[in-house]
A and B are shown apart, each in its own frame.
Chain A
Amino acid sequence: MQVEKFYYDNRIVKNFAYATILWGVVGMLVGLYAALQLVFPSLNVTQYGTFGRLRPLHTNAVIFAFVGNGIFMGVYYSLQRLLKARMYSDLLSKIHFWGWQLIIVAAAITLPLGLTNGAEYAELIWPIDIAITVIWVVFGWNMFATIIKRREKHLYVAIWFYIATLVTVAVLHIVRSIELPYSWLHSYTWYAGVQDALVQWWYGHNAVAFFLTTPYLGLMYYFLPKAANRPVYSYRLSIIHFWSLIFLYIWAGPHHLLYTALPNWAQSLGIVFSIMLIFPSWGGMINGLLTLRGAWDRVRDDVVLKFMVVAVTAYGMATFEGPMLSLKNVSAIAHYTDWIVAHVHVGALGWNGMLTFGVIYWLIPRIFSTPLYSKKLAANHFWLGTLGIIFYAVPLYWAGFTQSSMWKEFTESGQLKYAFLETVTYMKPFYAMRSLGGTLYLIGACLMVYNVYKTAKAGKLVADEAAEAAPMIKEEARHKGEHWHRWIERKPMQMMILALVVILIGGAIEIIPTFLVQSNVPTISSVKPYTPLELQGRDIYVREGCYTCHSQMIRPFRSETERYGEYSKAGEFVYDHPFQWGSKRTGPDLARSGTGNLKKSDGWHFRHFREPSSMSEGSIMPPYAFMLTQELDTSSTAAKINAMRTLGVPYADGFELTANEHLLQQATGIVNNLKADSIRISPTKEVIALIAYIQRMGTDISKQKNN
């Protein structure tokens, strides 16, 4: 057989590696800044730098910029070698690279400007959503065309993980991004309330599964054996790992919504599948760690293996903790607290971060054809990273437990023991310690920047690395007695379709009934659409990312109904596009801010927005004084009403024409209330709309009682 000579494209790998490092440092820096804002609220400078706008920037930067580029770096390196082929098209690789970086830059500009969809990890506005779809297709096209022209008959397990990632992320992104634009930069999500919540956490959970986990498992199955120089412990286990993981993961989303207004059957479904997820996850972890059997002595000297061992161990810890957190009784304690923040950082810093660093230290010297500049610096990075994770996670686990206990503690006479604010100020030392952990981790990453820079400078990029392989013999038919999985390993399209079917089963069974069966969301007749002013106020609430710190979902516990009022019902959210239940209570729940036990006057809210600590001493909420001077954009009111009507909100025909009159009338009422409180302000300022929304929240149900 004639062998063919060809070249691997290392330039694209280098580009993605540099982008990974750059955005990693940026994402961590923003995260550290946001963490410090919780300790020193004065760091909330200007409207563009408040916690509510920076937190989405941090999460998007880390997930889609740092880990995203890390995925592409690893895929472009390993795919070419596993298939014995250069990437199908250099042009597509370039479009993919630059397109992805442009999307990141667009996100970095729009998020601080307050342009957001208000859904966690899906904040980016609709034009960017479309760009993501296009670039993802470019990536898929390039990957599949390479698979088709490959020289290796069989697809190694890493490639199945890449294929599953490709199709599932596409499905998740499209379903989550169905939205109705009402301007060039704004849109409303198609779903409302409970349905939006279910779609959101089906998406959110599987963004963790198919963006942060499956592609990185693919990288683990390639780079760990390479670094250890021995094949994976059990290939059979990897097949079981792959299929059960993608089958189970897709169902687990509802565990983010336990004790909420989500129908009970959907909650149970989420719990059962989350618990079962331990097995494939641990199967994968064990497979990774046992690959090092007989080579553990090398871990002492090889910094790449050290990073990988910590990464796989962190994966094991996070995937044990995840199912435990999905139990209702554990969720009752952990949900809304900093425990969850600790949990996700064990995954992000430990699993994604450490594996990325390991791959970079392994790969950069190879594509630059020179030894790593300093082993010692890399070892220091390893220790700073590992200590950083511990210093980050331990204080927050402690904080989460303490927070939850304080929220739930009653005095002997049956009163809540702590005001919410006391529980906030108590957290400050923990937040400070967490920032220290983050700083250590970031310093470690900076050492890597220097080390990689020096290595690259000492060597020279082997942009086109020569290789030789025989062309693949076409062998389409499945011959008699052949194992089914060997057959499917030759058939990438069938593999993709099978993976798609597997994930669609879970998605469909979970989501379709909630959409179709009316009894899932019992209607409440007194729940009415928002007035134009409240709608504008709600959009400001979304713009400012209030959901990053405030929930709107009171769970049916005595400790919550005592503090906030009647527990939340599914029927209360039918006009909420998007839903704003939130996932974290750095501040108190606001679901009944207009009627419940935390109800305040218009004047109180006005002063509180201007300077939160003047009304609540020790508050760590950012000041929103700019809303007192910023004019409300009433030119969008009609378009918003029209869009909402299209989505099924029963505004009367022609209401959009008089909506602004109605808006002004309601605003004047609030201005008069403020005047009585000796505050003078024009009715067209943003703060008035936000006060209107805050005062509306949760009031519909009490109207029903009064009737």
Chain B
Amino acid sequence: MFKFIQQYAEKIENIAVYPMISLMVFFIFFIVLLLLVIRMDKKAVQLLSNLPFNSNEESTIQTI
């Protein structure tokens, strides 16, 4: 199987197209991510960002 892929890949001519493909992959990934994040529910965001604070172990030591 690997041999087969190897033989095939050895014949790739325009290897320089790789960077372009990579850039497009990231661009699409980023746009989708951005859209999804912008559409996030405001309440959910607030809940999540407060996660470090709603534990009840808080020691009340004045350390500094």
Which residue on chain A has the smallest CB distance to residue B42? A236
Inter-chain CA distance A371–B63, complex, in Å, is 4
Inter-chain CA distance A232–B38, complex, in Å, is 17
Using Cβ atoms and an 8 Å threshold, which residues of chain A touch B1? none
A562 within 8 Å of B (CB atoms): no
Inter-chain CA distance A156–B61, complex, in Å, is 25
Inter-chain CA distance A244–B63, complex, in Å, is 36
The interface centre, meaning the residue of A372, A466, A483 with most chain B CB atoms within 10 A of its CB, is A483
Convert A130-172 into 0s and 1s, putting 1 for each residue whose CB lies closer than 8 angstroms to a CB of B.
0000000000000000000000101011100000000000000
Interface contact B61-A369, CB-CB below 8 Å: yes
B20 vs chain A, min Cβ distance (A): 10
B35 vs chain A, min Cβ distance (A): 11
Which residue on chain B has the smallest CB distance to residue A81? B55
Number of chain B residues whose Cβ lies closer than 8 Å to a Cβ of chain A: 42
The interface centre, meaning the residue of B6, B55, B61 with most chain A CB atoms within 10 A of its CB, is B55
B47 vs chain A, min Cβ distance (A): 7
Which residue on chain B has the smallest CB distance to residue A226? B52
A426 within 8 Å of B (CB atoms): no
A469 within 8 Å of B (CB atoms): yes
The interface centre, meaning the residue of A239, A251, A273, A369 with most chain B CB atoms within 10 A of its CB, is A239
Inter-chain CA distance A509–B12, complex, in Å, is 13
Interface contact A82-B18, CB-CB below 8 Å: no
Inter-chain CA distance A276–B29, complex, in Å, is 14
Convert A450-476 into 0s and 1s, putting 1 for each residue whose CB lies closer than 8 angstroms to a CB of B.
000000000000000111110000000
Pick the residue among B12, B26, B36, B48 that contacts A276 (CB under 8 A): B26
Interface contact B9-A516, CB-CB below 8 Å: yes
When A and B form their complex, what is the total count of cross-chain residue pairs whose Cβ atoms lie within 8 Å?
A: 130
Interface contact A465-B57, CB-CB below 8 Å: yes
A268 within 8 Å of B (CB atoms): yes
Convert A496-531 into 0s and 1s, putting 1 for each residue whose CB lies closer than 8 angstroms to a CB of B.
000000000110010011001111100000000000
Interface contact A156-B48, CB-CB below 8 Å: yes
Inter-chain CA distance A168–B64, complex, in Å, is 37
Convert A60-79 into 0s and 1s, putting 1 for each residue whose CB lies closer than 8 angstroms to a CB of B.
00000000000000000010
Interface contact A509-B63, CB-CB below 8 Å: no
A23 within 8 Å of B (CB atoms): no
Pick the residue among B6, B29, B48, B55 that contacts A247 (CB under 8 A): B29
Q: A231-B53, A375-B64, A486-B44 are in contact. Are A513 and B33 (CB under 8 A)?
A: no
B residues 18-57 near A (Cβ < 8 Å) are 18-19, 21-23, 25-26, 29-30, 33-34, 36-41, 44-53, 55-57
Using Cβ atoms and an 8 Å threshold, which residues of chain A touch B26? 247-248, 273, 276
Inter-chain CA distance A663–B29, complex, in Å, is 56
Which residue on chain B has the smallest CB distance to residue A484? B36
Interface contact B59-A302, CB-CB below 8 Å: no
Pick the residue among B10, B30, B47 that contacts A518 (CB under 8 A): B10
Q: A156-B52, A222-B52, A370-B61 are in contact. Are A512 and B9 (CB under 8 A)?
A: yes
Interface contact B49-A231, CB-CB below 8 Å: yes
B50 vs chain A, min Cβ distance (A): 5
B30 vs chain A, min Cβ distance (A): 6
A304 within 8 Å of B (CB atoms): yes
Inter-chain CA distance A520–B25, complex, in Å, is 23
Interface contact B63-A517, CB-CB below 8 Å: no
Using Cβ atoms and an 8 Å threshold, which residues of chain A touch B46? 235
Name 10 A/B residue pairs within 8 A (Cβ), A-sorted. A8-B57, A81-B52, A84-B55, A222-B52, A240-B33, A240-B37, A265-B15, A265-B18, A371-B63, A469-B55
Closest A-B pairs by Cβ, 6 of them: A516-B9, A365-B63, A235-B49, A156-B51, A231-B49, A467-B57
